[in-house]
Amino acid sequence: MRVDPGSTQDPAGFVFHHEDGVYRAVSPSAEGSVRELERQGVYRDLIDSKELVPTSFVDPASALFRALSTRFPAYPCFLKHERIGLITYPYEWTYHMLSDAALFVLRLQGRLLERGLTLKDATAYNVQFLNGRPVWIDVLSIEKSVRPDIWYAYGQFCRHFLYPLLLKDRFGYSAKGLFLANRDGISLSDVRALLGFWRSWSPSSILDVGLPSWLGRLDRDGTWEKKLVSSSRPLQEADVSFQRKNLRRLEEKVGRWAGSGTAGSGGWLDYPSECPYSPRSAGHKKEIIRRYLAESKPRRVVDLGCNTGDYTRLASEGDASVVALDGDHACVDRLHLRLRESPGPVTLVWTDLTNPSPALGLNNRERASLMERVRGDLVLALALMHHLLSQGMGLPQIYELLKTMSDRFLAVEYVPPDDPERRRMASLRTEPEEASERDRFLSLFRTGYDLLREDPIDGSTRTLFLFEKKKE
């Protein structure tokens, strides 16, 4: 039973993995609240509306409960969660993924408020994307509201959502860098310094930056804040209305930043229409990939360098779930917008494969690295290898990257040095002779894989290879 290091800071409980299941241990102090929310049907309503990850109580009379109690005897209650195929982090999300997650959190808080409840946490790490749409995963962060006029998690919401979106809107700052450098999102003091005095007190920022910064300086020892938190007031309509209005204000603000819903522009956004494939070549390539999918019958496909998702969609037409990765923000953002309208079994990751997401957090264990999380029965590396070569990776490094992610099958598109597109990309680099590189490529990959198929693409210089990992 492996405890998830990213969940251990909550005194109400923690997440752990047992066999193929994901479970949550509930502390004695939180059990009563959890049981009451279940009795009121809160969890069932949120699960039915696809706002909460499917969750159930472990039967106290079952052998499973006895096994869990033996391992964690101090915890009287256990929950089982539906496993999410791939956990992603906000520094792997595009702008519209982050803004959609922000809107989701605000609307969830609004729904809970109507039932006298609240989110005690508003961290982006409690949101995941299932079939392209956000879902809340931290059951224990839902609790009874003590002060319905105040959302105590508002400050965390700003650090994780509002401030990164604000800085993206004002200066074009990427949320990726902000999250990688700041464990708990960007602080009020940092955003105040970046905006400057006048912008912080502008009509669009005064309530979320200028005024909180000024009050924070007046209350350096936290006296006012402590009094606010410790005070209790009866549930009054005026109290609820105050928070409801604030949530609507925030929702309108984030909605404006999200703009018209376009993915913007990027260097590879229009690549499918400009790439050196004739209609005959493009059609033949898809036929080959369909054959590879039919023969390998993968449960999970990893599409590396997915671009705008032509082959991601092809892989998702069967029974497999798909993880689609690309380093081009506009491409991944466009895919997200498509998933928003037509949900499917696809998880998106915005990342640079030459510099993938590292392990972060306490002892570098709170957030697992990308290479620890992403694996597939079939890995697609289509029109990818020459991009990695142009960015300084050698064949051995590319081989290790693909082997790490591939559990069994690997489909690689080989693009020779005389390919027009590769020549354009490598104009400032010295390329090896085609024959020697192709031989080295096959020799290297055959050290760990058996070659199942070799399929030249009609009307193209390129060749598709299907490998199967050798049994150890």
Confidence at 149, pLDDT banded by 50, 70, 90: confident
For the stretch 254-285, pLDDT in tens is 998 876 555 555 556 665 544 667 888 889 99
- Average pLDDT of the residues in 35-60: 96
Confidence at 325, pLDDT banded by 50, 70, 90: very high
List of residues 6+ apart from 387 with CB closer than 8 A: 305, 425
On average, the pLDDT of the chain sits at 89
Cβ(15)–Cβ(53) under 8 Å? no
Query: How many Å is the Cα radius of gyration of the chain?
Result: 25
Cβ(122)–Cβ(156) under 8 Å? yes
Q: What is the pLDDT of residue 273?
A: 44
Token pair belonging to 132: 């392209």
Token pair belonging to 187: 């602080």
Q: What is the pLDDT of residue 261?
A: 54
Q: What is the pLDDT of residue 279?
A: 83
Q: What is the pLDDT of residue 410?
A: 98
Q: What is the pLDDT of residue 388?
A: 92
- Average pLDDT of the residues in 211-239: 63
Q: What is the pLDDT of residue 262?
A: 58
Query: How far is residue 133's CA from residue 165's CA, in Å, rounded to a whole number?
Result: 19
Torsional class of 392: left (φ above 0), alpha (ψ -120 to 50), beta (otherwise): left
Confidence at 146, pLDDT banded by 50, 70, 90: confident
- Judge whether residue 362 has pLDDT over 90: no
Confidence at 318, pLDDT banded by 50, 70, 90: confident
List of residues 6+ apart from 339 with CB closer than 8 A: 131, 132, 133, 346, 348
Closest CA to 354 of 294, 401, 406, 421: 401
Confidence at 216, pLDDT banded by 50, 70, 90: confident
List of residues 6+ apart from 71 with CB closer than 8 A: 1
Confidence at 90, pLDDT banded by 50, 70, 90: very high
Question: Tell me, which fold does domain 271-469 have in CATH?
Answer: Rossmann fold (3.40.50)
Query: Cα dist. 256→212, 223, 252, 426 in Å?
Result: 22, 35, 6, 41
- Judge whether residue 308 has pLDDT over 80: yes
- Average pLDDT of the residues in 444-460: 95
| Strand 142-144 with 300-304, pairing | unpaired
Cβ(170)–Cβ(137) under 8 Å? no
Query: How far is residue 62's CA from residue 142's CA, in Å, rounded to a whole number?
Result: 27
Closest CA to 210 of 200, 218, 197: 200
List of residues 6+ apart from 131 with CB closer than 8 A: 339, 343, 344, 345, 346
pTM, entire model: 0.92
Backbone φ and ψ for 331, nearest 5 degrees, come out as -65, -45
Instruction: Report percent pLDDT > 90 for the chain.
Output: 72
For the stretch 400-440, pLDDT in tens is 999 999 999 999 999 988 887 887 776 655 555 455 889 99
Query: How far is residue 40's CA from residue 30's CA, in Å, rounded to a whole number?
Result: 16
Confidence at 226, pLDDT banded by 50, 70, 90: low
Closest CA to 142 of 215, 248, 36, 49: 36
- Judge whether residue 46 has pLDDT over 70: yes
- Average pLDDT of the residues in 143-154: 90
Three-state SS letters, the chain: CEECHHHCCCCCEEEEEECCEEEEEECHHHHHHHHHHHHCCHHHHHHHCCCECCEEECCCCCHHHHHHHHHCCCCCEEEEECCCCCCCCHHHCCHHHHHHHHHHHHHHHHHHHCCCEEECCCCHHHEEEECCEEEECCHHHEEECCCCCCCCCHHHHHHHHHHHHHHHHHHCCCHHHHHHHCCCCCCHHHHHHHHHHHHHCCCCCHHHHHHHHHHHHHCCCCHHHHHHHHCCCCCCHHHHHHHHHHHHHHHHHHHHHHCCCCCCCCCCCCHHHHCCCCHHHHHHHHHHHHHHHHHHCCCEEEEECCCCCHHHHHHHCCCCEEEEEECCHHHHHHHHHHHHHCCCCEEEEECCCCCCCCCECHHHCCECCHHHHCCEEEEEECCCHHHHHHCCCCHHHHHHHHHHHEEEEEEEEECCCCCHHHHHHCCCCCCCCHHHHHHHHHHHHCCCEEEEEEEECCCCCCEEEEEEECCC
Q: Which position has the token pair 């085609």? A: 434
Q: What is the pLDDT of residue 268?
A: 60
